[in-house]
């Protein structure tokens, strides 16, 4: 006799999916002191180095047991670490020095659509019409929030080198999200797999960070900066990536990726709580289509199909 009902299963899954973007959207706020005083590769190196050190004691035995699988797939794992920790780590911080967080948010809003496209092209995933509509609604909500509901603000946005870097990060994240479901990696459980990627990412970042520190003397020196890096390692790295990877295992990259749209309203909420910003009407107007799009694109797959199989 099953110990849990389909409704309780999808409710738990949804709770995780709604929580995951909280961790992701915390990156810029928590990392702000470090971003202002530390160079991109140096910050990314310490971020993922600390995350690796925190994970290693809890995963050492499993990593040792999984070593043959890790070595067999070392090239794939290294490529994934390059995408997630090198590109989506250091390059994001570099891009923020060249462009605004608003532009970056808009460009990153393409990630769920890219994930869906890659799954369709390379995994033969069938795409329902409701998913296209849901993505369209969610993108509309993101645009409303970041442009403050003004068409003039949208038209006045200018693209620069930082925007191109954000586009590269968005593509890298989409590829990473699809690769995490590769069949040869499914024998490694979520936490050890993330630990391997963190360690490989730290190794890939090391020569660039060392060169950067040698040329700029950009070494974290104050307790505020180190506290910022620790927060990024714990919340924006370990908590966000583990919840995202586990979500992918539960519902697949396309549905998990859809919940990245919540990063925009969550980011606004954090700005209200921690930076003293005020909620305005366009925030509510943007949040409504984001939520409608998420429910339209994901609820039929996760609830109705599971209920039908029960």
Residue 8 lies in a domain: no
- pLDDT at residue 306 tops 60: no
Residue 148 lies in a domain: yes
- pLDDT at residue 236 tops 60: yes
- Average pLDDT score over residue span 145-161: 76
Q: Distance between CA 90 and CA 209 in Å, rounded?
A: 9
Q: How many domains does the structure of the chain reveal?
A: 1
DSSP state string for 197-263: HHHHHHHHHHHHHHHHHHHH-----SHHHHHHHHHIIIIIIIIHHHHHHHHHHHH-HHHHHHGGGGH
Q: What percent of the chain has a predicted confidence (pLDDT) above 90?
A: 33
Q: What is the pLDDT of residue 235?
A: 92
The answer to whether 236 and 244 have CB atoms below 8 angstroms apart is no
Q: Distance between CA 71 and CA 270 in Å, rounded?
A: 41
- Average pLDDT score over residue span 132-159: 80
Q: What is the mean pLDDT of the chain?
A: 84
Q: What is the pLDDT of residue 310?
A: 46
Helix axes 101-108, 263-275, angle to 10 degrees: 150
Q: What is the pLDDT of residue 3?
A: 45
Task: Supply the range of the domain harboring residue 214.
Answer: 17-301
- Average pLDDT score over residue span 163-168: 87
List of residues 6+ apart from 221 with CB closer than 8 A: 37
Residue 86 lies in a domain: yes
- pLDDT at residue 254 tops 90: no
- Kindly report whether the global pTM for this prediction surpasses the value 0.95: no
Q: Distance between CA 264 and CA 114 in Å, rounded?
A: 18
Grade residue 305 by pLDDT with cuts at 50, 70 and 90.
Answer: low
- Average pLDDT score over residue span 178-202: 91
Residue 31 lies in a domain: yes
Residue-wise pLDDT tens digits, 32-90: 788 888 899 999 999 999 999 999 999 999 999 999 999 999 999 999 999 999 999 99
269: helix, strand or coil: helix
- pLDDT at residue 309 tops 60: no
Q: What is the pLDDT of residue 212?
A: 92
The answer to whether 46 and 228 have CB atoms below 8 angstroms apart is no
Give CA angle at 273 (271, 278), nearest 5°: 65
Grade residue 28 by pLDDT with cuts at 50, 70 and 90.
Answer: confident
Residue 6 lies in a domain: no
- Average pLDDT score over residue span 152-172: 82
Residue 9 lies in a domain: no
- pLDDT at residue 1 tops 80: no
Residue 96 lies in a domain: yes
Residue 1 lies in a domain: no
């Amino acid at each position: 006799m099953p110990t849990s009902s389909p409704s309780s299963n999808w409710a738990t899954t949804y709770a995780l999916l709604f929580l995951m973007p909280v961790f992701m959207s915390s990156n810029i706020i928590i990392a702000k002191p470090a971003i202002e005083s530390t160079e991109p590769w140096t910050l990314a190196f310490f971020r993922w180095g600390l995350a690796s050190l925190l994970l290693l004691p809890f995963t050492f035995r499993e990593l040792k047991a999984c070593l043959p699988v890790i070595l067999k797939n070392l090239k794939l794992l290294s490529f994934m670490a390059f995408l997630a920790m090198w590109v989506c780590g250091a390059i994001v911080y570099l891009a923020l020095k060249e462009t605004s967080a608003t532009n970056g948010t808009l460009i990153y809003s393409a990630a769920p659509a890219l994930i869906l496209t890659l799954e369709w092209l390379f995994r033969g995933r069938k795409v329902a019409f409701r998913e296209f509509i849901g993505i369209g609604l969610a993108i509309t909500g993101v645009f409303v929030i970041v442009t403050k509901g003004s068409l003039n603000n949208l038209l006045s946005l200018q693209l620069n080198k930082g925007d191109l870097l954000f586009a590269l990060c968005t593509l890298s994240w989409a590829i990473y999200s699809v690769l995490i479901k590769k069949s040869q990696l499914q024998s490694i459980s979520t936490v050890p797999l993330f630990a391997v990627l963190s360690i490989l990412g730290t190794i890939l970042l090391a020569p660039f960070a060392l060169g950067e520190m040698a040329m700029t003397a950009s070494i974290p020196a104050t307790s505020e900066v180190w506290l910022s890096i620790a927060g990024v390692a714990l919340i924006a790295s370990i908590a966000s990536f583990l919840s995202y990877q586990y979500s992918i295992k539960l519902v697949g990259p396309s549905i998990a990726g859809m919940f990245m749209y919540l990063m925009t309203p969550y980011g606004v909420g954090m700005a209200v709580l921690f930076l003293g910003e005020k909620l305005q009407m366009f925030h509510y107007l943007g949040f409504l289509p984001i939520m409608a799009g998420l429910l339209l694109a994901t609820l039929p797959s996760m609830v109705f199909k599971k209920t039908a199989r029960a």
